[in-house]
Each structure stands twice: as structure tokens, then as C-alpha cells.
């Protein structure tokens, strides 16, 4: 792999569909973004916005059919990998790009001991013998905070708690020191304390090993604590992207603002009802011609429904797709600014 570029991953005009009996589900539509080396980037958005489909399609993890990459390029570490075949991708998966999935119980094999599940990947991707691979697996379990790793190697997934299983998944993912780790809502089913510990481990990995992390989540608190940059997705498209401080303090897209405003705050007026977003996400078999958020947007204009807005850059690295930035929409934009002026969310320490 070449190391010419500062970005470990570049996605350009990436489009993924599912062919179903009901029709073509346009899950990801012309998405472009990049991940710098050693960076933690968060991808946020409601369920069904295309976050997981997009990241799993990078190395073709989804079964095809029904999944189909229609177009776009994936440049990993300076190499175009979108045309790679199964065997070429196999050399990248695990060794270069690793995944931590949402539910560790379905990701781990219930009939195989934990130790064997960790050593399997090490043996497949390295020249270590079984004894050395086993020693490395014990070390990995120790590194992710599992007590008595030697004894735990001989146990099965059902003997671990949810948090411990997620730690095992992290150990498997980092076994080959990949350059990029994709963590798909890694703390969904965990209590707050365990959630904090798991995120702490990921942050530690990022700092010690310089591993870039794509963190998929819908929890804006996690985003504030973990990420350097944020990509906001809705209806299979990216609607806004920027640095974490910039997004939290100066989000320009109504959808991003709505996400931020709907986070419960300790200092909020308890007599006021919680903010929420009316309506539901679009039907991706017939996605809207214009901005996907238009039907739910309080500032929607006729043009929003008819045509997808062009990309605007409002500052270094802060890009968004919204018709409110057009000078002809100044009245609507002023109303947007006034309505959300008190909805600024302080970035969490």
C-alpha cells in the first residue's frame, strides 16, 4: 500500500442500492468524504440514513445480491480498492481495515471458545505459530481490560457480559494493528458506565497506535467526547460535515440543528417540552428529488422539494448541502438563525 497521501480513506461519489421485490432501495446516494490518518471521525444520523450500509460497502461486506455498488471510488491508503475482487479484499479486511459491529452476541460464534476466535484472525493474517498467536490473544484481552485473560480464553461467548463481549470484539479487531477501525454503534446495548469504558478503550487505541477510527453513532454526546470531525447523514446523503467544534457551535443545516436541539440538557427549562423531529425518514425506494429532509424541515421552500442543493463551503472543512445558503433565501435563513440561536449545545468536556 502506498503512503503518498495524508488521508487513509477517500470515498468519492459512492452509491449503493439493494435490489428487492418491492423495487430498488437507494440506500446510499453519491456520498463523498475522507478520513485523515489517526483521525476519529463520527458519522451521525437517524436509523436508516445509510451509515452502516456505506461503511460496510467499502470492503464489500454486504451480500451481493441484493446489495449493489452502482458507482463511486474507494481509495484506501492511496490505492483504488473499489474494483478489488474477493481475494484482494480479503488481504485488506482485518489486517488493514477492521470492524466492530453493533451486537457482539451475533458477531461472535457461540460454539467456539473466545481464545480460538481471536487466534483465528492472527493465524490467517500473520506468520505466527499457534502458541505465539495464543500468547498474543492473551495480551490483547489484557489490553482491552478483561481480567484473568488466560482463563477467559477457554470460555464461550455466553459466559461473558455484553460489555465483556464488546471488549472481545475490540481485541479481535485490533489484533493485526489495522490502520482504520470502523466501530458501528459499539455501545448501543451497554449501560452508561460500560459505555464510557468501551469508548475510553477506543480513544486509547487511537492515541497509542495512531489508528484512524470511523465511529457510527446517533448519540451526540459520544460525538462531542470522541470525534475530531463529524459527517451528518440523512436519507442516504451527507447533508453536513465539519470539525466537531464547528458543528456543535455553528451547525448550518436544519437537520443537524434539530439533532443537536433534541439532546436532553441538564440546564434546560424543565417546563418546556423536549425538542423532537416531526415526521419520519424518507422511503428509499422512491427517495425525494430534492433535499431528503425537506418534508420534515420547518424552513422548507418549494426549491427544497424540487432540487437537491449544491455543496456550499462556509469555512475550512465545513461543507453542507442546503438551499438556505442561497442569497434568495435570506428571509428563511434569518428565521432559521433566530429560531436556533438559543439551541446551541455546549461541547461536552
Query: 144-197, pLDDT tens digit by residue?
Result: 999 999 999 999 999 998 889 999 999 999 998 899 999 999 888 788 898 899
For residue 285, is it within any domain?
yes
pLDDT at 342: 53
pLDDT at 4: 57
pLDDT at 349: 38
The answer to whether the beta carbons of residues 78 and 1 sit under 8 Å apart is yes
Mean pLDDT across the chain: 88
Q: Which residue has the higher pLDDT, 115 or 3?
A: 115
Residue 256 has pLDDT above 80, yes or no: yes
Q: Is the preceding peptide bond at 65 cis, omega within 30 degrees of 0?
A: yes
pLDDT at 343: 46
**Rounded CA gap, 230 and 240, in Å?**
8
The pLDDT confidence band at residue 39, using thresholds 50, 70 and 90, is very high
For residue 160, is it within any domain?
no
For residue 15, is it within any domain?
no
What is the CA 133 to chain-centroid distance, rounded? 30
Quote the cell numbers at residue 51.
451509515
pLDDT at 336: 84
**Rounded CA gap, 172 and 194, in Å?**
19
For residue 332, is it within any domain?
yes
Residue 344 has pLDDT above 70, yes or no: no
Give tens-digit pLDDT for 12-38. 999 999 999 999 999 999 999 999 999
pLDDT at 216: 94
For residue 272, is it within any domain?
yes
For residue 245, is it within any domain?
no
pLDDT at 236: 93
Short-list 42, 44, 8, 48, CA closest to 28: 48
Residue 255 has pLDDT above 50, yes or no: yes
HSE (CB half, 13 Å, CA atoms) of 216? Answer: 23
Q: Cβ-count burial of 105 within 10 angstroms (0-12 exposed, 13-18 middle, 19+ buried)?
A: middle
Burial 38-68 (b: 16+ CB within 10 A, else e): ebbbbbbbeebbbbbbbbbbbbbbbeeeebe
274 lies in which domain range?
254-339
The answer to whether the beta carbons of residues 244 and 227 sit under 8 Å apart is yes
For residue 329, is it within any domain?
yes
Give tens-digit pLDDT for 285-318. 998 899 999 999 989 999 999 999 999 998 888 9
What average pLDDT score do residues 50-65 get? 89
Residue 264 has pLDDT above 80, yes or no: no
Residue 3 has pLDDT above 60, yes or no: no
Q: Model-level pTM?
A: 0.91
| Number of folded domains that form the chain | 1
Burial 312-349 (b: 16+ CB within 10 A, else e): beeeeebbbbbbbbeeebeebbeebeeebeeeebeeee
Q: What percentage of the chain has pLDDT greater than the value 70? A: 96
Short-list 33, 2, 17, 11, CA closest to 285: 17
What average pLDDT score do residues 200-211 get? 93
pLDDT at 341: 65
Residue 207 has pLDDT above 90, yes or no: yes
For residue 125, is it within any domain?
no
Give tens-digit pLDDT for 102-152. 877 778 999 999 999 999 989 988 888 999 999 999 999 999 999 999 999
What average pLDDT score do residues 224-233 get? 94
The pLDDT confidence band at residue 242, using thresholds 50, 70 and 90, is very high
Residue 65 has pLDDT above 80, yes or no: yes
Q: What percentage of the chain has pLDDT greater than the value 90? A: 59
The answer to whether the beta carbons of residues 291 and 304 sit under 8 Å apart is yes
Amino acid at each position: 500500500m502506498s503512503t503518498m497521501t495524508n488521508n487513509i480513506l477517500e470515498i468519492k461519489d459512492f452509491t449503493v442500492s439493494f435490489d428487492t421485490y418491492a423495487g430498488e432501495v437507494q440506500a446510499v446516494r453519491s456520498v463523498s468524504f475522507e478520513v485523515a490518518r489517526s483521525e476519529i471521525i463520527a458519522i451521525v444520523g437517524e436509523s436508516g440514513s445509510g451509515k452502516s450500509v456505506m461503511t460496510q460497502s467499502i470492503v464489500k461486506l454486504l451480500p451481493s445480491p441484493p446489495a449493489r455498488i452502482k458507482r463511486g471510488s474507494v481509495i484506501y491508503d492511496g490505492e483504488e480498492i473499489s474494483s478489488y475482487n474477493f481475494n484482494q479484499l480479503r488481504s485488506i479486511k482485518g489486517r488493514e481495515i477492521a470492524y466492530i459491529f453493533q451486537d457482539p452476541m451475533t458477531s461472535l460464534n457461540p460454539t467456539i471458545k473466545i481464545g480460538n476466535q481471536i487466534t483465528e484472525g492472527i493465524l490467517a493474517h500473520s506468520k505466527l505459530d499457534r502458541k505465539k498467536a495464543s500468547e498474543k490473544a492473551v495480551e490483547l484481552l489484557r489490553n482491552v481490560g478483561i481480567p484473568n485473560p488466560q482463563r477467559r480464553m477457554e470460555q464461550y461467548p455466553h459466559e461473558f457480559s455484553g460489555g465483556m463481549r464488546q471488549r472481545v470484539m475490540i481485541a479481535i479487531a485490533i489484533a493485526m494493528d489495522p490502520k482504520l477501525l470502523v466501530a458501528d454503534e459499539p455501545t448501543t446495548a451497554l449501560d452508561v458506565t460500560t459505555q464510557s469504558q468501551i469508548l475510553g478503550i477506543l480513544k486509547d487505541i487511537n492515541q497509542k497506535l495512531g489508528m484512524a477510527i470511523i465511529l457510527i453513532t446517533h448519540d451526540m454526546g459520544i460525538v462531542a467526547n470522541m470525534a475530531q470531525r463529524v459527517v451528518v447523514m440523512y436519507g442516504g446523503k451527507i447533508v453536513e460535515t465539519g470539525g466537531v467544534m464547528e458543528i456543535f457551535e455553528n451547525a448550518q443545516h436544519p437537520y443537524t440543528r434539530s439533532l443537536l436541539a433534541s439532546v436532553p440538557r441538564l440546564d434546560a427549562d424543565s417546563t418546556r417540552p423536549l425538542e423532537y423531529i416531526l415526521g419520519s425518514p424518507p422511503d428509499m425506494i422512491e427517495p425525494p428529488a430534492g433535499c431528503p429532509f425537506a418534508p420534515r424541515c420547518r424552513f422548507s421552500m418549494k426549491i427544497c422539494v424540487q432540487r437537491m442543493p449544491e455543496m456550499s463551503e462556509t469555512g475550512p472543512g465545513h461543507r453542507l448541502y442546503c438551499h438556505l445558503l442561497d442569497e434568495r433565501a435570506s428571509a428563511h435563513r434569518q428565521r432559521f438563525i433566530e429560531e436556533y440561536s438559543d439551541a446551541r449545545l455546549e461541547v461536552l468536556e
